[in-house]
Structures are given as C-alpha cells and as structure tokens.
Amino acid sequence: MTAGTVESQAGTAAPHATATPLLTAHGLTKRFGGVAALDDLDLNVQRGEILGLIGPNGSGKTTFFNVVTAIYGADAGRILFDDADISRSTPPAVYHAGISRTFQRSRLSLPLSIFDNVMIGNHKRLNQSLWFNLVRRGAFIAECEANFAEARALVKSFDAPLADRMLEPVAGLPMIDRRRIEICRALISRPKLLLLDEPSAGMTQDETKQLMENILGIRERMAGLTIVIVEHEMAVIERITDRCVVLNFGRKIAEGTFAGIAADRQVQEAYLGLQ
C-alpha cells in the first residue's frame, strides 16, 4: 500500500539504510470500546532518524506511544524493537529494552528535586539491592556522587543555570525547565529510542525554539539515538524531523519528508477539512 513511499524515503532518513528498522509495528490495533484508536497500523522507525508523528487530535499518536511502552496492551498486531518482539511486554521491560519517553502532560514528581527526578529515569543503572542501599553506605555514596556528576552534566547541556539547582524541588520551575528535566530523565539511562510526546505543549514560541535546539543538540552528542516526536507545532516538525508519518483515525495516511506530506491532499483534508 504505502510500501513504495517507505522505500523512497529510506535513503534520506537512516544512516544505516541496510540495517533492519529499530522499531516496527505490524497491523497494530487498539480499540477503546467501539473506537479504534489504532487501526491496523504499519509503521517503521529507522535507526538514527528523527521521526515526526503528526495528525489531528484523537488520531492515535499518544495511543501509539502508550501501546509501544506497554501501558496499553495491543488488541492485535505486533511490535518489534531491535529485532525482538515486545508486543506482550510490560512497561518496565520496555524500558529495560531501551525505550524511554516523556509525557504529554509533564509527569514529573513535583516535590522531589531535579536530581531525584532525573535519577528516577536511571533506575536500571542503579544498584537496587537492599544490602547495598542500607548497609554499604560508602559504596552507595560513591555511586550517588558519580551519578550526580553525570546527571548534572546532562542537565547542564540543556541549560547551564539549571544545573546549579539540582537539589531544588521541581515544583517551583517554569514549564520549559520541567520539559528539559523530563527529557533528561528519559535520556540518562542512554536509551536507543526516545519517544517525545508533545514537548512544546504549554510553552511559548521562544521556549519551544530553545527546546528544539536542545533536542537537535542531543542527537549530535548521543550518536545513534533515535527519536520519535509527536507534535502539533508544524514549525517544530519542519525544523527537526528527518521524516514524518501522518495518522488519522488510527491509520497511516501519509509518510515522507515534511515538504512531501505538507503537499499531500489527504493530509490537507485531514487537517483542514478540504473536500
């Protein structure tokens, strides 16, 4: 059906064009009652690309993230990540496999410090044994300090002043800093795939611009990181994505570069209601 489009895009998108896609969805379906939020969706994410996922409200973008991260189980279809089937997985297993995400409505732990919030994302790299945490305090403090330095450097690469406030609660920070911390929380464990769910929501245009520069900066520093971004702000999509997939009613209606899909009649119909 749309296989031809995929082929034509492969060259521009992925540095490792010969390798299998990092993430593949085959016939992915998720129903809520009678509504199909995802309807037989086929989607590939190539290694190393920034893929924009766009579509009108309710077209299934966030549901796709929630199914990939196993918050919802799929009703039908398969998801392959790094050549392993993760269709019947659990959220912790998906995280351990190397997928991290942010949330549409920022889900930080507000009373906790910036450092604490970033460390929540580092769960799989921290020693979780009772004995280590309660008894071997010297070793724990060493691990804690090493992680602090790493978290601080990561936050600093987003915003230098923010890195001096690592032990302050997140509750007092403006939205852009919260988004930055959420992205740091997702990145600290060095995932292979980062899912960004509307990072510009609730921010001014200037803030959005800054954050996009941050995201492009990450890609330069973390070689091989693959990003899928859900976004309504078309300027953002145009600026940072290599390739876009357009969803409508849970189906893929177009795929290609931003310029390509912007000219697509079906996309214009879905967004603008053109007849």
Partner 1 sequence: MTDAHDTARPSIFPGAIALALVTVYVIALLHAESQNTILTLLGVGAVAVTVAHWLGWLVPVARSFQARDDALALLAIVAALVVAVYFREDHFVLLLLCTVLLYTVATLGLNVQFGYAGVLNFAGASFFGIGAYTAAVLTQHTAVPHVLILLAGGIMAALIGSLLLLPVLRTRGHYAAVITIAFALLFKTFLEVNDILGGPQGLQVKAMSLFGWSFNDNIEIGGFEASFYFSYFAASLAILVIAFALVRRLERSWIGLNLDALRLDETAALCFGLNIVRWKVTAFLFGNVLIGVAGALYGMLVGFVQPNSFTFADSLIFVSILLLGGIGNPWGVVAATIIVVIVPEKLQAIQEYRFLLYALLVMAVLLFRPEGLLPRPVRNYLPGWRP
**Could you say which of 52, 77, 121, 256 contacts partner 1 (CB under 8 A)?**
121
Does the footprint of partner 1 cover residue 153 (CB under 8 A)?
no
Does the footprint of partner 1 cover residue 190 (CB under 8 A)?
no
Name the one range near partner 1 by CB under 8 A: 42-50, 136-144, 219-227, 266-274. 136-144
Residue 9 burial by Cβ neighbours in a 10 Å radius (0-12, 13-18, 19+): buried
Does the footprint of partner 1 cover residue 149 (CB under 8 A)?
yes
**Could you say which of 27, 73, 91, 224 contacts partner 1 (CB under 8 A)?**
91
Does the footprint of partner 1 cover residue 126 (CB under 8 A)?
yes
**Could you say which of 17, 139, 142, 167 contacts partner 1 (CB under 8 A)?**
167
As beta bridge partners, residue 195 has 101, 228
Say if CB 79 and CB 68 are below 8 A apart: yes
Say if CB 208 and CB 233 are below 8 A apart: yes
Tokens standing for residue 121: 């994302």
Smallest separation, CB 228 to partner 1 (Å): 15
**Could you say which of 17, 19, 85, 137 contacts partner 1 (CB under 8 A)?**
137
Using CB under 8 A, count the residues that bind partner 1. 46
Residue 202, SS3?
Answer: coil
Residue 61 burial by Cβ neighbours in a 10 Å radius (0-12, 13-18, 19+): buried
Give the integer Cα–Cα distance in Å for 9 and 19.
Answer: 14
Does the footprint of partner 1 cover residue 127 (CB under 8 A)?
yes
* Pairing status of strand 23-32 against strand 50-54: unpaired
DSSP state of 246: E
**Could you say which of 4, 11, 34, 111 contacts partner 1 (CB under 8 A)?**
111
Give the integer Cα–Cα distance in Å for 1 and 41.
Answer: 12
As beta bridge partners, residue 229 has 52, 196
**Could you say which of 109, 204, 205, 266 contacts partner 1 (CB under 8 A)?**
109
Name the one range near partner 1 by CB under 8 A: 19-27, 33-41, 42-50, 137-145. 137-145
Which residues contribute to the site for partner 1 (CB under 8 A)?
69, 71, 90-92, 94-96, 100-101, 103, 107-113, 116, 119-121, 123-124, 126-128, 130, 133-134, 137, 140-141, 144-145, 148-149, 152, 164-169, 185, 189
